Structure 1
Amino acid sequence: MREILISGASIAGQTLAYWLARHGMRPTLVERAPGPRMGGNGVDLRDQAIEVAERMGIMPRVRAAAADVQGIKFVNASDRAVARMDMRSAGGEVEIMRGDLVALLSEAESGVEYVFGDSVRALAEDGDGVTVSFEQGATRRFDLVVGADGLHSTVRRLAFGPEQRFLRHKGHYFAFANADSALGEDRWVSMFNLPGKMAGVYRSGNHAQAKAYFIFRSGLLAYDHRDVGEHKRLLKEVFAHETSWRVRELLDGALDDPDLYFDALSQVRMPSWSSGRVALVGDAAYCASPASGAGAELAIVGAYRLAGELAGAADHRVAFRRYEEGLRELVRRKQRIGPNVRMMVPKNRLGMWTRNAVVSVLPRS
């Protein structure tokens, strides 16, 4: 029976642990946070990801917990909608808050060992397995190690090299935090633009808590991606002097939120997702950036495929190769993010006017 360590207990890690256990393997999930990370923005389940969720038996609960957002409206400084874009899908796609999905995945699991409040410090591979040293716990042996630990993956750094080799900056930074529930229109994402910047409020129909969004154009910034205080300083530098619309209220709420999320819009591009007895899944291997709307889909489908290939091949090298061959085309398509960011954050006022004019004539569902 294979002993497999999974670093990261988010969507990819939870899905992988579920399917490894179902296939008779013994997964251990290690997570740096003291418990499951329940925050986050809305994520989309579509196509193959819905099929996997159906096989896990969680899809009815996913639909019941759906965010129920009708669309995006672009507003002016007076809070008047200058354009609306209907986002409701007739194809079965479901948007759910990331924390809700993580909770449902966690509840579906059995036979999984959890280790919270710890992280991988070092990996030492030999012909029979991997010796893993942890920041807090005792050193342990595993047959295989999988990094499901996100854009700034520790496992990827240890097994493949520094992240600068694999991250592709997409010219923007993104922040997400709690917001005053009195702001924005219920069941809509309201977005206000200034040249090169966007502030918005997300109001789910099934959640009392509103969420604030911020995006701004920038080259690469030097900062500690785990330092929330530094994240708040950078966000404040960009938006603190903006007094239009609800920007100041949204910013004040974000700066008060201890769970504020801030990071670059980046993609991960790697020539291989495995090295010896170590593999990567989800954002650690092929992050498509939040602008793609495909992060949860790739995490779920990738984890399902990886578990299935490990169950079907006695040799992990064969399994890793098949996993990659079967997923590369989907990843390639999803990493084509098209005009999404340019539409949300036009460079100048002409771009804002053009975007609003185009959106205004789009057919509604």
Structure 2
Amino acid sequence: MFSPTTVEKQYAQAGADSLRVLVVGAGIAGSTAAQLLRRDGRHPVLIERGDQDSSAGYMLALMPMVDVVLDDLGARDRYRAASTPLQRYAVHGHTGRKLREDSMSAILARFGDYRGIARGELIDVLSGGGCPVSFGATVSALTERTDGVEVSLRTPHGTHTLHFDLVIIADGMHSQTRELVLAPQAAKVVDTGWGGWVVWAASDNPAADADLGEEWWGAGFFAALYPVKGEVGVFVGGPRADTAAGPAAFVARIRRQVKDVSPRLQRALNAVLDDPEPYYWSLTDCRAPTWTTGRTVLLGDAAAGFLPTAGIGAGMAMESAWMLCRSLRQADRTSAGLADLLRGYERLQRPRVEAAQDNSRRLASLMFRRSRLLAVAREVAMRFVSVEQALGPIQRLLQQQPDPEELFSATGEGLRAP
């Protein structure tokens, strides 16, 4: 769980560390990085611009690449207790007819766990055992020098100018801190033109569907249900030009198009209508042109923000945090090779992240279609293309898990593992 504290207290604890680290953003990437560093005996300063009650509550499906991260955090048991296995996946066409159902356990179980979890529950898992964080804090200025980074922080208790050896920037796809390091608007954005509402529905009844993720690929709409522990996450959306009419008009539009509205889809549509303030998610992603400088590094969505179409963004953020923190075990504030180490980390991890991001983009171009003719053609093709084939690039990433030892070997004798 998060332990709210002041920047001053965190900075005082970091004073004796061999590497004083600031982590900007207490989301999935930032919390993972901070807790991994703490497990290694460091005292990173973790800040979050939001307040303690501002964490978004959407659903996540985590691929098995997170298993090594959870093991290093000692959090595997907490994770399994807070999540639910996702063993099956079904997709429906534009009329509501089920096109296929595939076994996700058969596809992914050989690599490890594939599970559904609410974002808030995952943050609790990652921060288990206590996670000091300073809420309401933002970086207002950042000056990088050869001996470190001078950072100005705005907090509820005033403004502070502090010296760090490394700044990890993990404050999301719309990172403001990233713009202090790179040129404004340097990150390239892909906008699908689609968006939709994210809400929660009651858990499935009968429980036989509790392991089933289900999607409806329509002509001008997309609907999905993803189980987590005790609830079902719902997404209903389409072209933003159409969703602008509001949930009631858009749901009515879906009901006119879908001939076979199953009880499960009915519950999902009703959940959107019943929520007085459903969260609206504009489906865009971003890609930064570079991740690292001499003493700063982008992490998670600040480096590469994902579309949700492949369900892999959170997993890649956790894997990247793990790779980065394993590499930092070899660094201290006197390391002349810190910049080389960060470049080596980016050289190894960036191709993996961007391959996964590319896969999410390809799936989005297939899933988000407005034309009925194209929807029909897509459904014919789906008779011959399995989920296993669609997830081929992801499976290759799981087969080729990164090895931090490669990083030590590539960054010079002084940073090699002992």
Q: State the TM bucket, normalised to the shorter chain.
A: 0.7 to 0.9
From the superposition, tell whether residues 234 and 100 of structure 1 become closer, same or farther in structure 2 (CA, over 3 Å): farther
Which residues of 2 match residues 33-52 of structure 1 at below 5 A? Answer: 33-35=50-52, 37=55, 39-47=57-65, 49-52=66-69
SS at match of 2:84: coil
Structure 2 equivalent of residue 60 of structure 1: 77
Q: What SS is found at the alignment partner of 1:107?
A: coil
Q: CA offsets, 1:23-76, max 9 Å, x none?
A: 3332111112322726221231323x3222222222233234332233333447
Residue 113 of structure 1 corresponds to 132
Is 1:189 paired with 2:213?
A: yes
Partner Cα distance (1:24, 1:75) in 2: 49
Change (3 A) 1:294 1:248: closer
Q: Highest Rg: 1 or 2? A: 2
**Which residue in 2 is equivalent to 1:150?**
172
Q: Is the 8 A contact 1:35 1:116 kept in 2?
A: yes
Q: Alpha carbon RMSD of aligned pairs, Å?
A: 3.3
Whether 1:252 aligns to 2:273 is yes
Aligned to 1:271: 289
Aligned partner of 2:154 in structure 1 is 134
Tell me if the contact between 1:85 and 1:364 (Cα under 8 Å) persists in the aligned partners. Answer: yes
Question: Which of these residues, 351, 355, 363, is aligned with residue 333 of structure 1?
Answer: 355
Q: TM-score, normalised by structure 1?
A: 0.81
Distance 1:34 1:20 in 2: 23
Q: Quote the residue 2:188 is aligned against.
A: 166
Question: Residues of 2 paired with 1:124 and 1:238: CA distance?
Answer: 50
Written as runs of structure 1 = structure 2, the 5 A alignment for 1:189-228 is 189-204=213-228, 207-217=229-239
Provide structure 1 residue ranges, at least 5 long, that are not aligned to the other structure: 222-231
The answer as to 2:160 corresponding to 1:102 is: no
Question: Which residue does 1:239 correspond to in 2?
Answer: 250
SS in 2 for 1:350: helix
> How far apart, in 1, do the equivalents of 2:368 and 2:244 lie?
21
Query: How many Å separate the matches in 2 of 1:298 and 1:77?
Result: 31
- Alpha carbons of structure 1 residues 238 and 5: separation in structure 2 relative to 1, 3 Å: farther
* Amino acid aligned to 2:364: V
- Equivalent residue number for residue 14 of structure 1: 31
1:348 aligns with 2:367: no
Determine if contact 2:148/2:295 at 8 Å carries over to the other structure. no
Counterpart CA distance in 1 for 2:302 and 2:172 is: 4
CA distance in 1, matches of 2:195, 2:85: 26
- The equivalent position to 2:300 in structure 1, one of 279, 282, 291, is 282
* Structure 1 residues 264-287: Cα deviation after superposition (integer angstroms, max 9, x where no partner): 23132x232123432211111122
**1:290: how far off?**
1.7
Residues 32 and 321 in structure 2, CA contact (< 8 A), matched pair in contact too: yes
CA displacement at 1:352 relative to structure 2 = 3.0
Is contact 2:85-2:113 (8 Å) kept?
no
Q: CA distance change for structure 1 residues 240 and 359 in 2, over 3 Å: closer, same or farther?
A: closer
Verify the 8 A CA contact 1:121 1:132 in the aligned structure 2: yes
State the one-letter code of the partner of 1:196. Answer: G
CA distance in 1 between partners of 2:301 and 2:125 (Å):
20
Maintained 8 Å contact 1:265/1:291: no
CA deviation vs aligned residue, 1:239-263 (integer Å, no higher than 9, x gap): 2552504375243134434xx2513
Whether the 8 Å CA contact 2:285–2:306 is kept in 1: the answer is: yes
C-alpha distance 83-350 of structure 1, shift in aligned 2 (>3 A):
farther
For structure 2, which runs of at least 5 residues remain unmatched after alignment? 1-16, 256-260, 389-418
User: Is residue 2:332 matched to residue 1:321?
Assistant: no
Please point out which of 314, 318, 321 is paired with 1:300: 318
Asked if the contact 1:3–1:26 (Cα under 8 Å) also holds between the matched residues in 2, the reply is yes
Give the direction of change, closer, same or farther, for the CA distance of 1:43–1:234 in structure 2 (3 Å limit): farther
Secondary structure at the counterpart of residue 191 of structure 2? strand
Q: TM-score, normalised by structure 2?
A: 0.71
Shift of 1:289: 2.4
| CA separation of 1:215 and 1:164: change in aligned 2, threshold 3 A | farther
Amino acid at match of 2:86: V
